[in-house]
Amino acid sequence: MLLLMTFCCYGLQVLFDKQRRVNEEAVEFAQRQQQLQSAGRLAAEIAHQLKNPLGIINNAAFTLQRTVKEGKTITQQIRIIREEVERSDRIITELMGYARLVEGRVEKLDIAEELEQAILRVFPPAVKYEVKVHRDYSPALPPLLMQRMHLSEAFVNLLQNAREAMNGLGNIFVSARMGGNYSVVISIADDGPGIPREKVAQIFEPYFTTKEKGTGLGLAIVKHNTELYGGTVQVESELGKGTRFILQFPAKTVMKLRK
């Protein structure tokens, strides 16, 4: 009888603990969703307010450009104004797109499935690339609790960077495995030209770019999206030997959102 009561008490304790975890997870879902949506609304409003005056400046510069004779120094200055306005507009457009990312809902995500979807986006079957994607996913990886678009954009940005670095010719290595402290480690590497040592420390800074048409927000977004969920991102690169990005996320049932 005593043994039976012990088992019953133990069973009730397990049920109570399970219900408590479910309740905590529901609260975490709601809090995280509210924080992300507030940040998204603010970013979208700022971007919208900036786009209007930029459009006015661009139109005024265009009118001046048509009235000033070609070859004068002022025409060169007007051209610079228009180029910088267009660059600013591209940055704001990306910010507005990023603001839309936070409108989604937090959910449990299958890491291997999200990686595969990102690979399909960057390497659509209808387009031929001379790039071979090598996969290495550990079995039974725990899910990540985050917004799908946050994870997807991080993966897509890294895969696009790898593809562009190799000019569409080479190998990309994608892996996902368990790390220490019950974390998940995701690696996206390429055998491209690598990044100069003096630039490695800057690549996650907003607006830093080595591309002629780049906005410098891609890797900054990767860093932000990773750290938002308590994760980290690192880069290893050597000239002539390629580049490797390592994302590490805490794979807990309830992950703490950074304040």
Q: CB–CB of 214/153 below 8 Å?
A: no
**pLDDT of 244 over the 80 cut:** yes
Rg (the chain; Cα; Å): 24
Q: Domain residue spans in the chain?
A: 1-104, 106-250
How far is the C-alpha of 27 from the C-alpha of 25, rounded, in Å?
A: 5
pLDDT at 100 over 60: no
H helical segments located in the chain: 2-67, 73-101, 111-122, 148-165, 197-200, 218-227
* Amino acid making up residue 39: A
pLDDT class for 13, splitting at 50, 70, 90? low
Closest CA to 258 of 234, 233, 232, 235: 232
User: pLDDT higher for 79 or 116?
Assistant: 116
Instruction: Indicate if the pLDDT at residue 252 is higher than 70.
Output: no
Q: What per-residue confidence (pLDDT) applies to 122?
A: 93
pLDDT at 118: 96
* Helix, coil or strand: residue 205: coil
| Average pLDDT for 48-65 | 75
Q: Is-contact 172 134, C-beta < 8 A?
A: yes
Band (259; pLDDT cuts 50, 70, 90)? very low
Residue 256 confidence class, pLDDT cut points 50, 70, 90: very low
Q: Quote the DSSP letter at residue 169.
A: E
Which of 39-43, 59-63, 250-254 has the largest mean confidence? 59-63
Return the structure tokens found at 18: 């399970």
Give DSSP secondary structure letters for 115-139.
Answer: HHHHHHHHS-TTS--EEEEEEEE-S
Q: Is the pLDDT of residue 145 over 70?
A: yes
77: CB partners within 8 A, 6+ apart? none
Strands 130-137 and 169-178: parallel
In 3-state terms, what secondary structure has residue 228?
coil
- Least confident range of 68-77, 83-92, 125-134, 248-257: 248-257
Q: Provide the token pair at 4.
A: 């039976």
Return the higher-pLDDT residue of 243 and 83: 243
Q: Where is average pLDDT lowest: 124-128, 190-194, 251-255?
A: 251-255
Please tell me the least confidently modeled range out of 32-36, 108-112, 141-145: 32-36
**Around Cβ 32, how many Cβ atoms within 10 Å?**
21
Q: Which pLDDT band, with edges at 50, 70 and 90, does 258 fall under?
A: very low
Average pLDDT over residues 61-84: 76
Question: Is it true that domain 106-250 has CATH number 3.30.565.10?
Answer: yes
Q: 74 to each of 8, 79, 121, how far by Cα in Å?
A: 86, 9, 44
Percent of the chain with pLDDT over 70: 68
pLDDT of residue 234: 95
Digit-coded pLDDT (tens) for 174-196: 999 998 888 899 999 999 999 88
First and final C-alpha spacing in the chain: 50
The domain defined by 1-104 folds into Helix Hairpins (1.10.287)
pLDDT at 214 over 60: no
Amino acid 111: pLDDT: 94
Q: Which two tokens stand for residue 128?
A: 């031929």
Q: Return the number of other C-beta atoms located less than 10 Å from residue 142's C-beta.
A: 17
Report the 10 Å Cβ neighbour count for 15: 10
